[in-house]
Amino acid sequence: MSGIKCNYWAGRGLMEVPRFCLAIAGKEYEDWRCTNGTGDLGNTLDSNLGRLPTINCAEGTVGQSAAINFYIASECGLMGSSTFEAAKIIEFSEHIKELNTAFRALVPWGSTPSEEKMAIFFDSEEATDYEGPADGSKRSARQLKWFLGRMEKLVGGDGFAVGGKLSLADVQLYNMFADKLAPGKGEPFESAARTDAALDKCPNIKACIASVADHENVKKWLVTRASLPYNF
Protein backbone atom coordinates (compact mmCIF):
# COMPACT_ATOMS: atom_id res chain seq x y z
CA MET A 1 0.00 0.00 0.00
CA SER A 2 1.35 3.43 -0.93
CA GLY A 3 -0.23 5.07 2.13
CA ILE A 4 -2.09 7.43 -0.22
CA LYS A 5 -5.82 8.07 0.16
CA CYS A 6 -7.60 9.94 -2.63
CA ASN A 7 -10.72 11.82 -1.54
CA TYR A 8 -13.20 12.82 -4.22
CA TRP A 9 -16.77 12.58 -5.46
CA ALA A 10 -18.02 9.48 -7.28
CA GLY A 11 -16.79 10.78 -10.61
CA ARG A 12 -13.71 11.32 -12.74
CA GLY A 13 -13.44 15.10 -12.45
CA LEU A 14 -10.28 16.40 -10.83
CA MET A 15 -9.24 13.01 -9.41
CA GLU A 16 -9.08 10.87 -12.53
CA VAL A 17 -5.63 12.11 -13.60
CA PRO A 18 -4.11 11.07 -10.23
CA ARG A 19 -5.99 7.75 -10.41
CA PHE A 20 -4.48 7.13 -13.88
CA CYS A 21 -0.98 7.95 -12.59
CA LEU A 22 -1.41 5.55 -9.67
CA ALA A 23 -2.72 2.86 -12.02
CA ILE A 24 0.23 3.31 -14.41
CA ALA A 25 2.70 2.99 -11.53
CA GLY A 26 0.84 -0.03 -10.14
CA LYS A 27 0.46 1.62 -6.73
CA GLU A 28 -2.32 0.56 -4.40
CA TYR A 29 -4.21 3.34 -2.64
CA GLU A 30 -7.52 4.06 -0.96
CA ASP A 31 -10.01 5.47 -3.47
CA TRP A 32 -12.49 7.26 -1.18
CA ARG A 33 -15.61 8.40 -3.00
CA CYS A 34 -18.08 10.79 -1.46
CA THR A 35 -21.54 9.30 -1.44
CA ASN A 36 -22.79 10.37 1.96
CA GLY A 37 -21.40 13.88 2.44
CA THR A 38 -17.88 14.94 3.25
CA GLY A 39 -18.31 14.92 7.05
CA ASP A 40 -16.06 11.87 7.48
CA LEU A 41 -13.11 13.80 6.07
CA GLY A 42 -12.96 16.28 8.95
CA ASN A 43 -10.31 18.95 8.60
CA THR A 44 -8.54 17.19 5.71
CA LEU A 45 -10.73 19.35 3.45
CA ASP A 46 -9.08 22.52 4.78
CA SER A 47 -6.20 22.16 2.30
CA ASN A 48 -8.68 22.72 -0.55
CA LEU A 49 -10.67 25.44 1.21
CA GLY A 50 -13.29 22.94 2.31
CA ARG A 51 -13.67 21.35 -1.11
CA LEU A 52 -12.59 18.21 -2.92
CA PRO A 53 -10.23 16.87 -4.19
CA THR A 54 -7.77 16.24 -1.39
CA ILE A 55 -5.30 13.46 -0.71
CA ASN A 56 -3.89 12.10 2.52
CA CYS A 57 -0.33 10.83 2.43
CA ALA A 58 2.35 10.01 5.00
CA GLU A 59 3.46 13.64 5.27
CA GLY A 60 -0.01 15.19 5.60
CA THR A 61 -2.87 16.41 3.43
CA VAL A 62 -2.72 18.07 0.00
CA GLY A 63 -5.53 20.00 -1.69
CA GLN A 64 -5.86 21.79 -5.06
CA SER A 65 -5.80 19.49 -8.08
CA ALA A 66 -2.62 21.02 -9.54
CA ALA A 67 -0.71 20.26 -6.34
CA ILE A 68 -2.23 16.78 -6.11
CA ASN A 69 -1.28 16.05 -9.72
CA PHE A 70 2.29 17.16 -8.99
CA TYR A 71 2.59 15.08 -5.82
CA ILE A 72 1.05 11.89 -7.24
CA ALA A 73 2.87 12.14 -10.59
CA SER A 74 6.17 12.65 -8.73
CA GLU A 75 5.53 9.61 -6.53
CA CYS A 76 4.67 7.61 -9.65
CA GLY A 77 7.78 8.56 -11.64
CA LEU A 78 5.73 10.66 -14.07
CA MET A 79 7.30 14.10 -13.51
CA GLY A 80 10.24 13.76 -15.91
CA SER A 81 13.92 13.22 -15.21
CA SER A 82 14.98 16.71 -14.14
CA THR A 83 13.66 19.94 -12.68
CA PHE A 84 13.59 21.32 -16.23
CA GLU A 85 11.44 18.44 -17.49
CA ALA A 86 9.14 18.82 -14.48
CA ALA A 87 8.73 22.48 -15.41
CA LYS A 88 7.96 21.54 -19.04
CA ILE A 89 5.32 19.07 -17.80
CA ILE A 90 3.70 21.76 -15.63
CA GLU A 91 3.89 24.15 -18.60
CA PHE A 92 1.91 21.64 -20.65
CA SER A 93 -0.61 21.15 -17.84
CA GLU A 94 -1.30 24.86 -17.97
CA HIS A 95 -1.86 24.79 -21.75
CA ILE A 96 -4.43 22.05 -21.25
CA LYS A 97 -6.05 23.93 -18.37
CA GLU A 98 -6.37 27.07 -20.52
CA LEU A 99 -7.96 25.05 -23.32
CA ASN A 100 -10.47 23.60 -20.87
CA THR A 101 -11.21 27.09 -19.54
CA ALA A 102 -11.96 28.27 -23.11
CA PHE A 103 -14.39 25.35 -23.57
CA ARG A 104 -16.09 25.91 -20.22
CA ALA A 105 -16.55 29.62 -21.02
CA LEU A 106 -18.74 28.47 -23.92
CA VAL A 107 -20.25 25.37 -22.31
CA PRO A 108 -20.46 25.76 -18.52
CA TRP A 109 -20.09 22.50 -16.59
CA GLY A 110 -23.39 20.63 -16.41
CA SER A 111 -25.07 22.61 -19.20
CA THR A 112 -26.29 21.20 -22.49
CA PRO A 113 -24.16 22.64 -25.27
CA SER A 114 -25.89 24.38 -28.16
CA GLU A 115 -24.75 23.62 -31.73
CA GLU A 116 -23.75 27.26 -32.04
CA LYS A 117 -21.35 27.05 -29.07
CA MET A 118 -19.96 23.69 -30.18
CA ALA A 119 -19.29 25.08 -33.66
CA ILE A 120 -17.43 28.04 -32.17
CA PHE A 121 -15.27 25.74 -30.05
CA PHE A 122 -14.50 23.11 -32.68
CA ASP A 123 -14.58 25.02 -35.94
CA SER A 124 -13.66 28.64 -35.26
CA GLU A 125 -10.70 29.85 -37.30
CA GLU A 126 -10.82 33.40 -36.11
CA ALA A 127 -7.48 33.01 -34.30
CA THR A 128 -5.08 31.42 -36.79
CA ASP A 129 -1.80 32.66 -35.36
CA TYR A 130 -0.41 29.17 -34.80
CA GLU A 131 3.22 30.36 -34.76
CA GLY A 132 5.28 33.22 -33.44
CA PRO A 133 4.14 35.84 -30.95
CA ALA A 134 0.46 35.46 -30.15
CA ASP A 135 -1.90 37.97 -31.77
CA GLY A 136 -3.37 39.75 -28.76
CA SER A 137 -6.20 41.19 -30.83
CA LYS A 138 -7.55 37.61 -31.17
CA ARG A 139 -7.19 36.76 -27.49
CA SER A 140 -10.88 36.13 -26.91
CA ALA A 141 -11.18 34.10 -30.14
CA ARG A 142 -8.74 31.33 -29.14
CA GLN A 143 -10.57 28.04 -29.46
CA LEU A 144 -9.63 24.39 -30.08
CA LYS A 145 -7.83 24.90 -33.39
CA TRP A 146 -5.64 27.63 -31.96
CA PHE A 147 -4.60 25.56 -28.94
CA LEU A 148 -4.02 22.39 -30.98
CA GLY A 149 -2.16 24.28 -33.70
CA ARG A 150 0.34 25.52 -31.14
CA MET A 151 0.47 22.48 -28.82
CA GLU A 152 1.09 20.02 -31.67
CA LYS A 153 4.45 21.68 -32.29
CA LEU A 154 5.48 21.44 -28.63
CA VAL A 155 5.11 17.74 -27.91
CA GLY A 156 7.78 15.21 -28.85
CA GLY A 157 7.46 13.31 -32.13
CA ASP A 158 8.18 10.06 -30.27
CA GLY A 159 4.82 9.47 -28.60
CA PHE A 160 5.67 11.40 -25.44
CA ALA A 161 4.94 15.04 -24.68
CA VAL A 162 8.09 15.66 -22.63
CA GLY A 163 11.47 13.98 -22.21
CA GLY A 164 10.94 10.87 -24.34
CA LYS A 165 9.01 9.02 -21.66
CA LEU A 166 5.54 8.80 -20.20
CA SER A 167 4.62 11.69 -17.93
CA LEU A 168 1.76 13.57 -16.32
CA ALA A 169 1.50 15.62 -19.54
CA ASP A 170 0.58 12.52 -21.57
CA VAL A 171 -1.94 11.45 -18.92
CA GLN A 172 -3.53 14.90 -19.01
CA LEU A 173 -3.70 14.82 -22.81
CA TYR A 174 -5.49 11.46 -22.62
CA ASN A 175 -7.78 12.77 -19.88
CA MET A 176 -8.75 15.87 -21.86
CA PHE A 177 -8.99 14.43 -25.38
CA ALA A 178 -9.76 10.73 -25.11
CA ASP A 179 -11.29 9.69 -21.81
CA LYS A 180 -14.97 8.79 -21.84
CA LEU A 181 -17.16 6.78 -19.51
CA ALA A 182 -19.21 5.12 -22.24
CA PRO A 183 -20.37 6.02 -25.74
CA GLY A 184 -22.43 9.18 -25.35
CA LYS A 185 -21.53 9.53 -21.65
CA GLY A 186 -18.76 11.80 -20.42
CA GLU A 187 -17.22 12.31 -23.85
CA PRO A 188 -14.31 14.72 -24.32
CA PHE A 189 -15.59 18.24 -24.99
CA GLU A 190 -19.11 16.75 -25.18
CA SER A 191 -18.31 15.12 -28.53
CA ALA A 192 -15.79 12.32 -29.03
CA ALA A 193 -16.43 12.34 -32.78
CA ARG A 194 -15.63 16.03 -33.18
CA THR A 195 -12.64 15.75 -30.85
CA ASP A 196 -11.25 12.76 -32.79
CA ALA A 197 -11.71 14.63 -36.08
CA ALA A 198 -9.73 17.59 -34.71
CA LEU A 199 -6.96 15.29 -33.46
CA ASP A 200 -6.58 13.71 -36.89
CA LYS A 201 -4.61 16.82 -37.83
CA CYS A 202 -2.31 16.39 -34.80
CA PRO A 203 -0.32 13.15 -35.18
CA ASN A 204 2.15 14.04 -32.41
CA ILE A 205 -0.56 14.66 -29.81
CA LYS A 206 -2.43 11.56 -30.98
CA ALA A 207 0.71 9.49 -30.42
CA CYS A 208 1.04 10.80 -26.84
CA ILE A 209 -2.58 9.85 -26.17
CA ALA A 210 -1.96 6.39 -27.68
CA SER A 211 1.04 5.89 -25.35
CA VAL A 212 -1.36 6.19 -22.42
CA ALA A 213 -4.19 4.22 -24.02
CA ASP A 214 -1.85 1.35 -24.93
CA HIS A 215 -0.33 1.05 -21.44
CA GLU A 216 -1.25 -2.34 -19.98
CA ASN A 217 -2.02 -0.89 -16.53
CA VAL A 218 -4.30 1.73 -18.09
CA LYS A 219 -6.24 -1.00 -19.88
CA LYS A 220 -6.62 -2.84 -16.56
CA TRP A 221 -7.73 0.36 -14.79
CA LEU A 222 -10.40 1.04 -17.41
CA VAL A 223 -11.84 -2.43 -16.78
CA THR A 224 -11.68 -1.98 -12.99
CA ARG A 225 -13.26 1.45 -12.93
CA ALA A 226 -16.20 0.27 -15.04
CA SER A 227 -17.41 -1.53 -11.92
CA LEU A 228 -17.00 1.51 -9.64
CA PRO A 229 -19.50 4.32 -9.04
CA TYR A 230 -18.95 7.03 -11.65
CA ASN A 231 -21.59 9.71 -12.09
CA PHE A 232 -19.52 11.97 -14.32
Query: In this structure, what DSSP letter does residue 62 have?
Result: E
CB of residue 217 to ligand GSH, shortest distance in Å: 25
Beta carbon nearer to ligand GSH, 43 or 83: 43
Beta carbon nearer to ligand GSH, 10 or 226: 10
Q: Which residues of 68-78 are buried (b: 16+ CB within 10 A; e: fewer)?
A: bbbbbbebbeb
Beta carbon nearer to ligand GSH, 37 or 136: 37
The residues that touch ligand GSH, with contacts defined as CB under 6 A, are: 13-14, 48, 51-53, 64-65
Cβ atoms 73, 168 nearer than 8 A:
yes
Run of H or E residues at 33: strand 30-34
Q: How far apart are the first and last CA of the chain?
A: 27
Q: Which residues of 136-173 are buried (b: 16+ CB within 10 A; e: fewer)?
A: eeeeebbbbbbbbbbbbeebbeebbbbbebbbbbbbbb
Beta carbon nearer to ligand GSH, 46 or 214: 46
Beta carbon nearer to ligand GSH, 64 or 191: 64
Residue at 214: amino acid letter: D
CB of residue 101 to ligand GSH, shortest distance in Å: 12
CB of residue 93 to ligand GSH, shortest distance in Å: 11
